[in-house]
Amino acid sequence: MVSADTNVWIAHLAGEQAADVEILAIALRFQRAMMPPPVLSELLSDPDMPFPHQLDLQSVPRLDVTAGFWERVGLLRAKLWQKGLRPKLADTLIAQSCLDYQVPLLTRDKGFAMFAKHAGLELAK
């Protein structure tokens, strides 16, 4: 299983040729892709998103929020703040979704390195 951050999905939908996009395409083909809910929200926020893409995105299985999620997000963010880091709330939501399900994250955002280093988030390569 693998999940992908918004930036990888955007590249995938644009037909970009890149290693991370290929990994996502393969995961989708073999039904091994999972969607973090904050990523779905970010993607569907694009008012120009074609309707067929909206349907495709909504069909990807989600890393649904489980009991205690919001508390874990707050504690994770606090842990990183204590280390002098300033994680974005959306990134923390995405990271915690992946941590809860132990699913690696495909991303181009260097900001997720702090979650890998200090919280055990696996970044897919």
Report all structural domains of the chain as residue ranges with CATH numbers, in order of start.
2-119 (3.40.50.1010)
Strand pairing report for 2-4 and 105-106: parallel
pLDDT digit string, tens, across residues 11-44: 999 999 999 999 999 999 999 999 999 999 999 9
Upper half-sphere CA count for residue 119 (Cβ side, 13 Å): 33
**Does 62 have pLDDT greater than 90?**
yes
Strand order through the sheet with 33-34: 33-34, 2-4, 105-106
**Does 125 have pLDDT greater than 90?**
no
Q: Residue 99 — very low, low, confident or very high, per pLDDT cuts 50/70/90?
A: very high
